[in-house]
């Protein structure tokens, strides 16, 4: 017999699940518990409670990964409290969602139907072919103007990637955490910050979750470091996939390569393309159309719609689309899209609307809300930032090369060595300032920040070891 406290806790969880006949995700369950009792439950504990309900055949699951939802088993007894909490739960869920248009709401209702009531759908190539850059627009002109107003920064006349570099520390943490969370990653933002800034792995976390965060960090840095060169081309997106999927693919050879086998997506009636040649043709067409789109926000949203729909890679497609959607924003020095606070259910259901119905309104609602949220965060942060040092901008690449010269050369950061390296990388009039920048960069160098200097972990460790022996 279960202890009374545990039995009561299980009944509370079951009543929340029962109030959602189409299923409810663990994040929404957490939020409803927090709303009722004022304290967010521990994710691991909640997972164990849900597993106990599954084992006792009181609830079941449907879907996988971020599409996983919990449902009352058909024919089961609904707790008496369920009918009383239905309205309150619906209100809480609405609070966790984004504001939706009438068309978006209709899509949401369609994709919430049980799978047996949703019509199976295959990939519709004409959905991509019919899109004509500069003529077709997923985002109306008035909405594009609104997004430009929201996203404009003081760096709009400076070199590509300048604004993203100005807020790099915060962006790495926010985007890595928020995008990973949409994949079911349980790292908190603080855990993510400690991992990225100090290389500190959170206790009790799966190694896959840690790798996912680190892959996001490396991918974001790659796009910002090479903002002038990256674009909507196969080289960029295959490499972006390779970085985001590193050590996460069942077949390591599939990292950075287009899909050569069929895949199934759980929790949906959508069936992606299976023929490799058709996948490659559509991938080429998709990137060509994206590159020809004149508006950066239309480019970003087009990618979020079309790339996951095509599923060109065996896995990690949505991550590629979310990080890749920032390319035109980085290049134009617009406020980035971090996906901070985006509700999982809203993002999943918006994506399902594209998969199953080829309808974009719900995902567009999510995109616009997410971008406004990002702008509010980063433009507020920018107001408190110190104006960047022009010398740091001027010598940014030279500083990277100077740090590499010392670390890869296993040289000690003595004043003499720093002065020698500075002479090779800065004009005579800037020598003193460059020496100070180089000295500070070497003093602040740690394992969580070596990627910005394009260093390998092995190179950094070898330099540390050589440095310690002196």
Alpha helices in 38-167 (DSSP H): 43-55, 80-96, 102-111, 125-129, 141-151, 162-166
Check residues 140 and 225 and name the one with the higher pLDDT.
140
- Over residues 118-132, mean pLDDT: 96
- Cβ atoms of 217 and 189 closer than 8 Å: no
Domain borders along the chain are: 4-96, 115-383, 390-469
Terminal CA-CA length for the chain = 65
Are the C-beta atoms of residues 217 and 176 closer than 8 Å to each other?
yes
* Fold classified for 115-383: Fic-like fold (1.10.3290)
Model confidence at 344, pLDDT cuts 50, 70, 90, reads very high
- 320 marked among binding-site residues: yes
Helical pair 361-383 and 102-111, crossing angle rounded to 10 deg: 120
- Is the confidence at residue 76, as pLDDT, over 50? no
pLDDT for the residue 329: 95
Least confident of 91-100, 225-234, 300-309: 91-100
Residue 318 annotated as part of some ligand binding site: yes
Mean pLDDT of 133-148: 96
Contact 316, 241 (CB under 8 A): yes
Task: Tell me whether residue 69 is annotated as binding.
Answer: no
Could you give the CA distance from residue 427 to residue 314 in angstroms, rounded to a whole number?
Answer: 49
Confidence band of 177 (pLDDT split at 50, 70, 90): very high
Residue 317 labelled as part of a binding site: yes
Residue tagged 């949703």 (tokens): 118
The number of residues in the chain equals: 470
Could you tell me which CATH class the domain 4-96 is placed in?
mainly alpha
Is 315 annotated to bind a ligand? Reply is: yes
For residue 83, the model assigns a pLDDT of: 33
pLDDT exceeds cutoff 50 at 129: yes
Q: Which helix (H) or strand (E) holds 271?
A: strand 270-271
Residue 40 is assigned to a ligand binding site: no
**How many helices and strands (H and E) does the chain possess?**
23, 4
Residue 156 assigned to a binding site: no
Identical fold between 4-96 and 115-383: no
Strand pairing class (69-72; 59-62): antiparallel
Q: Is 424 annotated as a binding residue?
A: no
């Amino acid at each position: 017999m279960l202890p009374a406290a545990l039995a009561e806790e299980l009944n509370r969880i079951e009543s929340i699940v029962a109030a959602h006949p189409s299923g409810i995700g663990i994040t929404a369950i957490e939020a409803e518990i927090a709303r009722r009792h004022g304290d967010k439950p521990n994710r691991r504990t909640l997972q164990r409670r849900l597993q106990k309900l599954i084992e006792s055949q009181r609830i079941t699951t449907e879907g996988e990964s971020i599409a996983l939802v919990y449902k009352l088993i058909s024919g089961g007894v609904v707790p008496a409290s369920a009918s009383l909490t239905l309205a309150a739960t619906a209100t809480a869920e609405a609070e966790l969602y984004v504001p939706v248009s009438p068309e978006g709401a209709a899509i949401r209702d369609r994709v919430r139907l049980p799978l047996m009531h949703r019509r199976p759908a295959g990939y519709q190539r004409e959905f991509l072919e019919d899109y004509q850059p500069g003529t077709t627009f997923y985002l109306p002109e008035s909405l594009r103007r609104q997004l430009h107003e929201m996203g404009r920064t003081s760096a709009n006349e400076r070199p590509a990637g300048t604004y993203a570099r100005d807020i790099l520390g915060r962006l790495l943490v926010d985007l890595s955490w928020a995008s990973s969370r949409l994949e079911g990653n349980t790292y908190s933002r603080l855990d993510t910050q400690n991992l990225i800034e100090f290389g500190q792995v959170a206790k009790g976390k799966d190694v896959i979750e840690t790798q996912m965060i680190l892959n996001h960090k490396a991918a974001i840095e790659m796009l910002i470091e090479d903002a002038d060169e990256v674009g909507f081309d196969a080289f960029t997106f295959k490499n972006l996939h390779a970085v985001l999927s590193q050590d996460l693919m069942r077949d390591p050879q599939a990292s950075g390569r287009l899909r050569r086998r069929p895949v199934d997506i759980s929790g949906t009636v959508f069936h992606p393309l299976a023929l490799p040649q058709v996948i490659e043709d559509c991938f080429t067409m998709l990137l060509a159309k994206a590159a020809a789109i004149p508006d950066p926000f239309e480019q970003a949203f087009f990618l979020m719609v079309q790339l996951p729909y095509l599923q060109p890679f065996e896995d990690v497609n949505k991550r590629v689309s979310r990080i890749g959607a920032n390319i035109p924003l980085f290049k134009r020095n617009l406020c980035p899209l971090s996906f901070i606070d985006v509700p999982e259910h809203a993002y999943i259901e918006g994506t399902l609307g594209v998969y199953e119905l080829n309808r974009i309104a719900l995902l567009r609602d999510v995109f616009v809300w997410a971008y406004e949220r990002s702008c509010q965060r980063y433009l507020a942060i920018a107001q408190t930032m110190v104006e960047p040092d022009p010398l740091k901008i001027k010598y940014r690449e030279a500083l990277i090369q100077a740090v590499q010269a010392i670390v890869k050369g296993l040289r000690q950061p003595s004043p003499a060595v720093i002065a020698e390296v500075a002479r090779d990388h800065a004009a005579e009039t800037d020598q003193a300032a460059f020496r100070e920048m180089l000295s500070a960069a070497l003093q602040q160098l740690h394992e969580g920040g070596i990627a910005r200097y394009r260093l390998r972990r092995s190179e950094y460790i070898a330099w540390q070891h050589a440095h310690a022996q002196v």
